[in-house]
Amino acid sequence: MKTALAIRHVAFEDLGSFAEPIAEAGFSIHYVEAGMQAIPAEAAEADLLIVLGGPIGVYQTEEYPFLSDEAALIRARLGRDAPTLGVCLGSQLMAAALGARVFPGGAGKEIGFAPITLTDVGRKSALAALVEPEADVLHWHGDTFDLPDSAVLLASSALYAHQAFAVGRRGLALQFHPEAETESLERWFIGHTAELGAAGVSIAGLRAAAAAVGPGLRERSRRFIARWLADIAK
């Protein structure tokens, strides 16, 4: 069986709606808990690596030294076009691994459900399945990044131009969270309460938006990840 290794930075930010389609594609899923477990040697050769989100910054390597290990792993995998998916913090680590700058976004926190717009290349990619019939996804980040020289931009939002990029055929970075499921978001609301309060974000408003948008996003997310896995297997 193929192996999917997911690096998780906080317990409640997991594979979510991605998990079932990844398993259905023939992968055995294993989590590595960042900071608690060393990255295993087999991570370099895993059939699929997914680097998930978290509330820390790529540039905080003195406080969180394991970030340097993650960036090195990502750099090596992208260098040989090994299947690698980064979500939020994971996308920022991918950008940093490719030499791009990661920094606090000038437009402030982007938290909540809002559309993404695909580029011409993005519309021909698996992301097309994520924005049909609507384009709202969950955004939850304060940092952003410059587009790496070797990357191709796939998506933007009203606040931040760099929302998704591809590297080679099998590297994909997503600044937003298509994997987050409505029934799991209550853990996010609790775990990120300080961030939400500081940003002036209404938890009640987020909860209502999740109830309205979440079920449709889950189905589109599942179609998207299934299509991406099929595309990179070709």
Rounded to 5 degrees, what are φ and ψ at 37? -130, 140
Query: What does DSSP assign to residue 146?
Result: P
How many Cβ atoms are within 10 Å of 36's Cβ, its own excluded?
Answer: 9
* 177 among known catalytic residues: yes
Structure tokens at 102: 């990661």
Mark residue 188 as left, alpha or beta (left: phi above 0; alpha: psi -120 to 50; beta: remaining). alpha
Residue type, 135: A
Q: What are phi and psi of 79, to 5 degrees?
A: -65, -25
Q: Which of 9, 141, 162, 177 is catalytic?
A: 177
- Selecting among 13, 70, 179, 181, the annotated active-site residue is 179
Go through 144-174 and write b for each residue having 16 or more CB atoms within 10 A of its CB, e for each that does not: bbbebeebbbbbbbebbebbbbbbbebbbbb
Task: Give the contacts of 178 (CB within 8 A, at least 6 positions apart).
Answer: 17, 18, 87, 130, 137, 138, 217, 220, 221, 224, 225
Active site residue 88: yes
User: Choosing from 88, 139, 181, 192, which is the catalytic residue?
Assistant: 88
Query: Which positions ≥6 away from 17 have C-beta within 8 Å?
Result: 178, 179, 180, 181, 217, 218, 221, 222, 225
**Secondary structure class of 130 (helix, strand, coil):** helix
Question: What positions carry a catalytic annotation?
Answer: 88, 177, 179
